[in-house]
Structure formats: C-alpha cells, structure tokens
C-alpha cells in the first residue's frame, strides 16, 4: 500500500494521546462477571514423567480418557499428557476441591496473573484513567486481589459489602478460582512404560478450577450496588463457560433484569461474545442478551458462531473457508440486520470494524478515536507484554499501520464504492454508519492473552 496512505493514518493515530487524556472524563465503568486467577506453569517432559510415576499410572491408564473433565487428580495428568503428546491445546474443567488442592500441592505455578474478561478489562480501564471501575468478583481472597493493579480507582466489595480498592481486599473464606495454564515446548520428550514421546508443537493445556464462574454465581453485594449507583459503561462477559446441563440457559436469562437495571441508569451496556462451545447456551446468549444490549464485540470465530445460530450456514461456511474482509463484512451486515444490536464491533487480523445505528450515542468520529487508541494500546500490550505500566500504553506511537489492514479496508471500500473510506475509515452502508481502523501489527508479540477484551473495551470507553 502507498506510503502516502500510511502517512495519513499515522496523522490520525497522532490523536491517541489526546483521546487517552479524555478517558479520565468517564466517571464510572462496571466490569462483570468473570474474574479469576491464571496460574502459568511451564512443564517439562521430565517433570510430567515424574508426576505420572508418582501417581502410579501406566500408559494405558493415561490413554483411558472417558471424559474431558477433571473429576479426580489423575485426570489432570491424562489431560496434560494428551496435549503434550499431540502438541494440541485443550481446556478441561473441574468443580472438585480435591483436584484444586492436588494441583496446588503438586503442580504449583511459575507466576500468577489476572484472568477472566471481567478482571482483565477492569485493569485495562483502571490504568486508562476511568475515575471508578467497579469490578465484579465472586471470589476475592488475597491471591485474586493481588492480580488487580494497585490503583484505588478499581474497586470491589469486602465481606461486609463495603466498597474498597480491589487490591486491598482479602475475603479470607473465599477459595481462589484458578485456571492453570500449563505450557510445554516443541521437541521436549518424556518416556512412559518404555515408550518415548516427543512433543510435536509448543502449546498449552488449561486445567480450570472455577465452580463459581461455571455456574455464574454473582456476588450479592455487587448486585446491591448495581441497583444503587449510576454507571456510564458496563462491559459484560463470562457466560461462555456455561453448559445446558448446568442450567446454563436459565443462568443466561437471569442476567436480563440486571441489564435492564443498568439501562435504567443510562449506561451503555457492552457484551463481549466469547467463544461458546455449548450450542444451547450460545443460542441463549445471542438471542436473549445480544439483542438487549447496546453493543457487542466479536472476533472472526465468534462471528461464525453467530451466523450458525441465526441460520446463515452458507455465510458461516464461506467465512470459515475464506476469513477475509469481503466475507466478514457481508456477514457482519447480515448479523446487524438480524440481531438489531445498535453497535457491533469486529476485530480480526489487521483491522477493527464497527457497524452502528446512525442514532447511536457515540459518533463515528468518536468511535474512530476510541478504536485508534485501542489499536495503540493493543500493540503496546503485544510489544511489551504488560500495559499495567502507564508508559507502555502509548509504546506503539509512531509506528505505521499494517499493509494487511489497509488491504482489507481497500476490499471493503470497493464493495461500498467509497474511495474516501480508505483514508478516513468512515462511511455509510445499508443505512448504518461504518467505521474501520487498520491496526499496528507487532512482529513478535510477547503476549496475546486478553487482547480481544482489551480491544473491545478500550474502543468503546475511549470513544471521546
């Protein structure tokens, strides 16, 4: 793409510092519902073989997998071995305290970090300067509290229901909700019963102990607060881990009156559509929640999930086979027409794309400002691995946007026949406002964890 076009976007990105300063005008944002602790552990083949030996498991035992759930400690070893042997990523869930205790005693961790969309977004909005961020936590012992940045503007509730800075709270009776992220390296090996296994690809196995979020348990003090205080923005997620067998559909439905309460207070309610494996729960989220919020955020995988729910199987197949701008844009328009959600934002490789009603409270120009700041912050997160330091937020300033993003925008500009779109990111189509921003791509990202949540929340809340 032309250097002149990149220069134009570099000038637009030059507004990011001013947009960041204006975030402090936001009085209150709420993040809910899933907050947990991620325990990151690098495991070697040697260590895994040692754990297997200590558990008295044979190769036949390890490969005897009856369910992908963690019902007992040995299931943890079966899951890690399966992922290590195949070089594949899997996540198995547990509601058994015995499994949690075994993992804590026998696995441990290399480091702890914030997990769950609610917790990740709370830290992001706090560091951006929102005056008060109210974070939902259904479990807030010391281990969880320590994952919040040590800023007084991020608050939650102690045992007595008192609102306090989240990092200062220790609800001692609460058990941490921990997601073990167990990483392994390509080429590492282990020997079981005389057979040698070499890991074909670096990957990870996630062992999740999270009975509260798996059942969408909502803190009563948080609920009381919802009915009493006004919020400017609400960023929701956490329903994606529910299952129909665990009353997931009913649990999704119980969120509706809470959303209505926020709307009564005038909040803009955003729902982050995470990948939801259970089809019935996915339908409930799309049909009941996505149609009753002001904004939703999706990636290309979640776009395909929605297409399947609304009966657009042909479009879903097209996107799965060719996940580029033309198919994604046409699909996004169709989703907007069916769901009628006032604002939908899609983020995919190299480009952020928003479609919204002309009457939406945030103008297209404000949306573009928010999306540019989000792209800058996301690049900073990818490049430094951590945006809990203020100087990392604008780390990517001065870097040019990607050829990939501009190429995808060019495709959309040809569909809508608007040449100016490529240099402004603003146009109209099918009666809606369309806003697009090509992103800054970091060649060797330090981390991509929580990237989608960061993009969606910053794009919306920073739209000043």
pLDDT of 32-49, one tens digit each?
A: 999 999 999 999 999 999
User: What's the full length of the chain, in residues?
Assistant: 464
Question: Are 350 and 409 spatial neighbours (Cβ–Cβ below 8 Å)?
Answer: no
Q: Which fold has domain 38-114+176-210?
A: Adenosine kinase, small domain (3.30.1110)
| Secondary structure (DSSP) of 202-238 | -EEEEEEE-HHHHTT---HHHHHHHHHS--SEEEE--
* Residue 160 binned pLDDT confidence (cut-offs 50, 70, 90): very high
> In sequence order, what E strands does 302-414 have?
343-348, 351-356
How far apart, in Å, do the first and last CA atoms of the chain sit? Answer: 29
* pLDDT tens digits, one per residue of 70-99: 999 999 999 999 999 999 989 899 999 999
Where in the chain is CATH 3.30.1110.20?
A: 38-114+176-210
Please, what is the average pLDDT of the chain?
95
Cβ-contact 169, 152 below 8 angstroms? no
Q: How far apart are alpha carbons 138 and 238 in whole angstroms? A: 12
Confidence of residue 125 (pLDDT cuts 50, 70, 90): very high
Q: Taking 80 as the threshold, does the pLDDT of residue 163 lie above it?
A: yes
Name the pLDDT band for 211 (thresholds 50, 70, 90). very high
Q: Which two tokens stand for residue 103?
A: 């993992």
Q: Label residue 1 by pLDDT band (50, 70, 90).
A: low
Tell me: the pLDDT tens digits for 332-360? 999 999 999 999 999 999 999 999 999 99
Asked whether the predicted pLDDT for residue 381 surpasses 70, the reply is yes
pLDDT exceeds cutoff 80 at 8: yes
Quickly state the pLDDT bin for 259 (edges 50, 70, 90). very high
**Per-residue pLDDT band at 448 (split at 50, 70, 90):** confident
177 pLDDT tier (thresholds 50, 70, 90): very high
Measured distance CA(258)–CA(222) in Å, rounded: 11
Helices assigned H by DSSP within 184-312: 211-214, 220-228, 248-253, 256-264, 279-284, 300-309
- Domain(s) of CATH 3.40.1190.20: residues in the chain: 3-27+230-461
CATH architecture, range 3-27+230-461: 3-Layer(aba) Sandwich (3.40)
pLDDT of residue 293: 98
DSSP state of 69: B
- Token look-up 């329903």 returns 239
Grouping H, G, I as helix, E, B as strand and the rest as coil, residue 445 is coil
Looking at the predicted structure, is the pLDDT value of residue 444 above 90?
Answer: no
Arithmetic mean of pLDDT, 248-257: 96
- State residue 242's pLDDT score: 92
Could you tell me what percent of the chain has a pLDDT over 90? 89
């Amino acid at each position: 793409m032309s250097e002149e076009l990149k220069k134009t976007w570099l000038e637009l990105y030059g507004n990011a510092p001013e947009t960041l300063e204006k975030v402090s005008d936001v009085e209150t944002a709420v993040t809910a519902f899933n907050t947990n602790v991620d325990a990151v552990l690098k495991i070697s083949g040697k260590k895994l073989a040692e754990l297997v030996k200590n558990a008295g498991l044979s190769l036949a035992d390890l490969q005897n997998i009856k369910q992908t759930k963690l019902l007992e400690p040995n299931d943890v070893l079966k899951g890690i071995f399966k992922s290590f042997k195949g070089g594949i990523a899997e996540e198995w869930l547990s509601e058994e305290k015995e499994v949690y205790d075994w993992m804590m005693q026998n696995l441990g961790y290399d480091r702890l970090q914030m997990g769950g969309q609610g917790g990740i977004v709370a830290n992001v909005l706090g560091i951006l300067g929102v005056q008060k961020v109210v974070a939902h936590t259904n479990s807030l012992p010391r281990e969880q509290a320590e994952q919040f940045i040590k800023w007084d503007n991020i608050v939650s509730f102690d045992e007595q229901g008192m609102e306090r800075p989240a990092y200062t709270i220790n609800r001692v009776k609460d058990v941490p909700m921990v997601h073990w992220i167990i990483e392994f390296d390509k080429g590492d090996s282990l020997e079981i019963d005389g057979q040698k296994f070499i890991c074909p690809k670096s990957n990870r196995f996630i062992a999740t102990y999270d009975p509260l979020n798996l059942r969408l348990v909502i803190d009563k003090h948080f609920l009381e607060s919802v009915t009493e205080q006004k919020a400017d923005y609400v960023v929701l997620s956490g329903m994606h881990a529910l299952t129909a067998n665990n009353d997931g559909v009913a649990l999704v439905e119980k969120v509706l009156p809470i959303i209505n309460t926020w709307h009564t207070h005038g909040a803009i309610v955003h729902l982050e559509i995470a990948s939801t494996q259970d089809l019935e729960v996915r339908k409930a989220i799309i049909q009941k929640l996505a149609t009753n919020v002001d904004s939703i955020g999706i990636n290309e995988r979640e776009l395909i999930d929605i297409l399947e729910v609304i009966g657009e199987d042909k479009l879903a197949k097209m996107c799965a086979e060719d996940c580029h701008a033309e198919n994604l844009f046409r699909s996004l328009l169709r989703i907007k027409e069916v769901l009628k959600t006032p604002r939908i934002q899609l983020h995919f490789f190299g480009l952020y794309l928003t479609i919204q009603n002309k009457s939406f409270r945030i103008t297209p120009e404000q949306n573009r400002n928010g999306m540019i700041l989000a792209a800058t912050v996301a690049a900073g997160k990818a490049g430094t691995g951590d945006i809990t330091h203020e100087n990392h937020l604008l780390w990517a300033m001065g870097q040019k946007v990607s050829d990939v993003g501009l190429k995808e925008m060019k495709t959309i500009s040809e569909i809508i026949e608007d040449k100016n779109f490529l240099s402004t990111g603003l146009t109209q189509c099918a009666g809606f406002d369309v806003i697009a921003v090509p992103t800054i791509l970091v060649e060797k990202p330090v981390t991509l964890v929580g990237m989608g949540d960061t993009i969606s929340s910053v794009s919306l809340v920073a739209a000043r």
